[in-house]
Chains A and B, each alone.
Chain A
């Protein structure tokens, strides 16, 4: 069974803080993703990585950066958290190639106060 693990389920941070969201997958998947899930807006892609040290901007990259130093780990970074970044963040992974199943983590609920 594919396992995508997000280390922090619930976080509360102050405006201006630097925030790290960590994600690890155990199936040697090439692709990893960070999505943001908001009611009425669905899932929106923040960043995508198709290989170690490779990244590609998604639909809403502003205010975020990512790091992929190892194949199994994909980190989302909020350089200076703002209240409009309060949301559920979903990490996901998939094998390379078009149309492969994407496997999701349980999500990290971030509140910025």
Chain B
């Protein structure tokens, strides 16, 4: 079965430090991977998707099929990055997403 694992429930870094949120998936075919973010008192929203290969709010994520990973990275964290982050996978033939357990990121001043 398809599965997404985010090993860190909580992650705390200082402002200006690099941040990496880990995501691993299990799927034998060609997945599509996404990162969704939920800021305090806001709805869950798409942050980025791997097929776009874009940087959003300074975040990037590279799909590593060999390691079945899709880690989210930002070189210099900002306080406004504090939020709940979910990694998600869309697999062939499906129009729905499988989500990881989520990582709560806190940026300390």
Contact = CB atoms under 8 A, between A and B. Distances in A.
Interface in A79-98: 90, 94, 96-98
Interface of A: 4, 31, 33, 35, 40-45, 48, 50, 58, 90, 94, 96-107
Contact of A104 (B32, B45, B49): B45
A98 B90 contact: yes
Contacts of B43: 4, 104-107
Interface string B22-62: 00000000001000000000011110010100000000000
Interface of B: 6, 9, 32, 43-46, 49, 51, 86, 90, 92-102
Contact of A99 (B32, B45, B99): B32
Contacts of B46: 101-102
Contacts of B9: 40
B73 to A, nearest CB: 20
A31 B95 CA distance: 8
Contacts of A97: 95
A112 B90 CA distance: 32
B86 A94 contact: no
Nearest to A90: B44
Shortest beta-carbon contacts, A-B, top 6: A43-B99, A42-B101, A104-B44, A99-B32, A42-B99, A99-B90
Contacts of A41: 101
Contacts of B86: 42-43
Contacts of B6: 42
Given A33-B96, A98-B93, 13 more contacts: A31-B95, A35-B99, A41-B101, A42-B86, A42-B101, A42-B102, A48-B95, A98-B94, A99-B32, A99-B49, A101-B49, A102-B97, A105-B43
B105 to A, nearest CB: 15
Nearest to A44: B99
